[in-house]
Amino acid sequence: MSSAERVETAVDVQGSVSPAGPKAILSLEQVSCHFEQVKAVTEVDLSLHAGEVVCLLGPSGCGKTTLLRVAAGLQPVTDGQVRLNDQVVSDGHGMLVPPEKRSVGLAFQESALFPHLTVLDNVMFGLKHLKGPARQARALDLLKQFGMAEFSRAYPHTLSGGQQQRVALARALAPSPKIMLLDEPFSSLDARLRDQIRDDTLHVLKHIDTATLLVTHDPEEAMFMADRIALMRHGHIVQMGSPTDLYCHPIDPFVVTFFGPVNEYLGQVQEKTISTPVGYLDAGHFSHGDAVRVMIRPEAVQVRLVSQSTAAHQTSHVIMSRLLGATSLVHLCAHGPDGQEMHLHAKVPGVFLPKEGQAVELSLDPRQVFVFPR
Ligand SMILES: Nc1ncnc2c1ncn2[C@@H]1O[C@H](COP(=O)(O)OP(=O)(O)OP(=O)(O)O)[C@@H](O)[C@H]1O
């Protein structure tokens, strides 16, 4: 094992806040929304620009839907203000511009279509400002972009759930809203269908250059869809930035673990290093004697097979291997330079299934190792 190896460590870095460039279409400024004792959202700042997809990500009950409803004008704020194109549309005194005047398109987990209208009529419903042929052409264009043009004469009850959701998205986007608000629009679909509709939706959103706020609790979905992610907890935005910012520069352990399970090691800084069973880490800004929590993503663990030179219990070795599909998960017992042991998971690409007992040499990709105070 590469026990003498010294590994540079990526430590807590604040993600970027907002892209430079044109003015925001939608701004939430110090927005709070409380329901009696429940502080659903507290002092949130968030801006949304034309053509970008921002995801509100976080665990159940963290305030995502409340924030989306505030943006839509469906929920008054307790404090702070909401601006649309620089005009204040709600503040602590009430709702100054109602939802129907905000040019927002809405789609939810189960977006109900009008059952007595055909697919085409459903999409044309919000296009009353257009004349007959233009109205139909616009609706058909949207249906085409969602792969639903051939169903234009069908009624909703004859469509699958996924097809209905495509029509609902087309209907919401048809009036070319300046802002699209989507609340878990893919979560009722099965995995394969979800991937496809997600992909189609992303391309349509980018094509029409609308600003999109998407609520999801799925980090993979947020990374797939978002230009920027706002990760929330207990009504606050914990970290805001690009998917790369959050994944590679998480500001605290909550952000690290929200994107997937990690290997954890509790250590102590000795001089300028932290000794772990997988080698020495650079202690970064920590000082001698600091108690630290080392978080190692399974993807950071690099495994090299070696011939056994010492007894199994003194060498890092394989406990078991499992094929997950595109990746393999290898359970390891790591033996450190100072005699420490650690059960470790390594996620490696492709079919890599070393046998139980196989001796290995372990190293780390420092970009996916994070150290926080204990
Ligand atoms: N109308 C309401 N009255 C009282 N409490 C509410 C109301 N709406 C939301 N809450 C509370 O506010 C908090 C945030 O709820 P919200 O629905 O915004 O969370 P969420 O992150 O969207 O959750 P989920 O992912 O489960 O939908 C929760 O504690 C919820 O119970």
Domains of the chain: 6-11+255-373 (no CATH), 26-254 (3.40.50.300)
Phi, psi at 360, each rounded to 5°: -135, 160
Q: Report helix angle 161-173 to 191-208, nearest 10.
A: 10
Tokens (6 digits) for 81: 């203000």
Smallest Cα–Cα separation from 123: which of 155, 167, 153? 167
Instruction: Specify the amino acid at residue 47.
Output: S
CB 46 within 8 Å of CB 54: yes
Closest CA to 281 of 9, 1, 2, 3: 9
Smallest CA-to-CA distance from 295 within 374, 363, 242 is with 374
Report ipTM for this prediction: 0.97
What is the reported pLDDT for 189?
Answer: 82
Residue of the CA atom closest to atom 1 of ligand 1 = 35
Determine whether the shortest distance from the Cβ of 66 to ligand 1 is under 6 A.
yes
Q: Is the CB of 64 under 6 A from ligand 1?
A: yes
Q: What is the pLDDT of residue 340?
A: 84
Q: How many CB atoms lie within 10 A of CB 93?
A: 10
Q: Indicate the angle between helix axes 161-173 and 132-145, nearest 10 degrees.
A: 130
| Pocket of ligand 1 contains residue 56 by CB under 6 Å | no
Which of 66, 75, 214 gets mutated to test ligand 1 (max ligand atoms within 8 A of its CB)?
66
Task: Verify whether ligand 1 is closer than 6 Å to residue 40 (CB atom).
Answer: yes
Going by CA atoms, what residue is nearest to atom 16 of ligand 1?
A: 63
Q: How far is the CA of 66 from the centre of ligand 1 (A)?
A: 6
Ligand 1 atom closest to the CA of 36, numbered from 1: 4
Atom 5 (ligand 1): residue with closest C-alpha? 35
At 337 the pLDDT is 75
Ligand 1 center from residue 153 Cα (angstroms): 38
Question: Using CA positions, which residue lies closest to atom 31 of ligand 1?
Answer: 61
Alpha carbon distance 46, 55 (integer Å): 11
Handedness of CA 188, 193, 194, 197 (dihedral sign): negative
Q: What is the DSSP letter of 15?
A: P
Per run of 10 residues, the mean pLDDT along the chain (length 374 residues) is: 35 38 88 94 96 96 96 94 93 88 86 92 90 91 92 95 91 91 89 88 89 96 97 98 96 97 95 92 94 97 84 78 96 87 94 94 94 95
Q: Is 61 in the pocket of ligand 1 (CB under 6 A)?
A: yes
The Cα 181–Cα 214 span in angstroms is 6
Integer CA distances (angstroms), 290 to 3, 104, 270, 286, 287, in order: 21, 50, 8, 6, 6
How far apart CA 277 and CA 282 sit, in angstroms, is 14
pTM for this prediction: 0.88
Q: Is the CB of 65 under 6 A from ligand 1?
A: yes
Torsion over CA: 255, 261, 267, 269 (sign): negative
Residue 75 beta carbon below 6 angstroms from any ligand 1 atom = no
Tell me if 60 CB under 6 Å of ligand 1: yes
Give the separation between CA 223 and CA 75, rounded to whole angstroms.
27
Count of alpha carbons within 13 angstroms of residue 370, beta-carbon side: 23
Q: Closest residue (by CA) to atom 4 of ligand 1?
A: 35
Question: Strand 327-335 vs strand 341-349: parallel, antiparallel, or unpaired?
Answer: antiparallel
Could you give the CA distance from residue 214 to residue 313 in angstroms, rounded to a whole number?
50
Cα dist from 279 to 8, 207, 274, 298, 303, whole Å: 11, 48, 8, 15, 13
Q: What is the pLDDT of residue 13?
A: 33
Q: Which of 73, 81, 117 is nearest to 99 (CA)?
A: 73
Predicted confidence at residue 117, as pLDDT, reads 96
Burial call 325-340: b when 16+ CB within 10 Å, e when fewer: eebbbbebbbbbbeee
pLDDT at position 5, please? 37
Question: Which atom, in ligand 1's list, is nearest to the CA of 75?
Answer: 1
Residue nearest to atom 14 of ligand 1 (CA): 63
Q: Candidates 33, 65, 187, 234: which one to mutate for ligand 1, based on the most atoms within 8 Å of Cβ?
A: 65
- H or E stretch covering 363: strand 360-364
Question: Which of 35, 69, 110, 221 to mutate to test ligand 1, by most ligand atoms within 8 A of the CB atom?
Answer: 35
**How many H-runs (helices) and E-runs (strands) does the chain carry?**
8, 22
